[in-house]
Amino acid sequence: METSIENLLQDYRKRTEETSLMHAMQLNIGLLTVLQKQRANSKLRSLAAIKIIAVILGIIWVLFLAVLVYGAGFKYPYFSISASAIIIFTVIAIVVYIKHFILISQINYSESITATQKKLSELKLSTINVARVLFLQMPFYTTWFWSSTWIHYDELNFWLITFPITLAFTVLAIWLYKNISPANSHKKWFRILFNSPEWTLVIKANEFIKVIDDFENEDA
């Protein structure tokens, strides 16, 4: 009889300990989730601010170049064509950055972790793609000071120095456009190019969310 009572008491203690452990684990998961989401949200708020600043500066830059192009007209065709191309690339960036801001504002941390990760992945991929496109404008920064008169009277310097520099920038721009991709994100040159808050903030936010996902998967 005493043995049966002792067994019942031991079984009760064991069940109580398991219940307490389960409650503790649930509490830890809850605290971890809240903490990591707060960290991710902090990074994304900083990123949203950067996007807004970039949009404002981009608009100022476009207006400035537009005024110069209007003043130059067909009198300085090399400058007008080069500056116009830069304007187009900048406008593309402005539109994409506005989309990034909207996407960041749409991230709801009450959603599932999978939904949040999907939006962060979309933000990462879009950041890479807009960078690829923006690098294509590099050669135009080397051609907007060209002029027919200068080329005619200083052909040697133009063909031996100026033109090769523009050609090198063109080749580099095309190479970067083709090679900048998530598949190369582990390479040193990629990390150097993308060593900016605009990229690192979204990466850190994604890492915070990934910790929650990993912890939940381990618990499952």
Asked if residue 99 is part of any domain, the answer here is: yes
* CA dist., res. 202 & res. 199, Å (int): 6
Asked if residue 220 is part of any domain, the answer here is: no
Count the domains in the chain: 1
Asked if residue 53 is part of any domain, the answer here is: yes
Asked if residue 209 is part of any domain, the answer here is: yes
Does position 11 have pLDDT exceeding 60, yes or no? no
The answer to which of 115-124, 128-137, 163-172 has the lowest mean pLDDT is 115-124
- Residue 159 belongs to domain spanning: 2-214
Asked if residue 49 is part of any domain, the answer here is: yes
Are the CB atoms for 104 and 51 separated by under 8 Å?
Answer: yes
* CA dist., res. 109 & res. 143, Å (int): 47
Asked if residue 219 is part of any domain, the answer here is: no
Rounded to two decimals, the pTM is 0.81
Q: How confident is the model at residue 22 (pLDDT cuts 50, 70, 90)?
A: very low
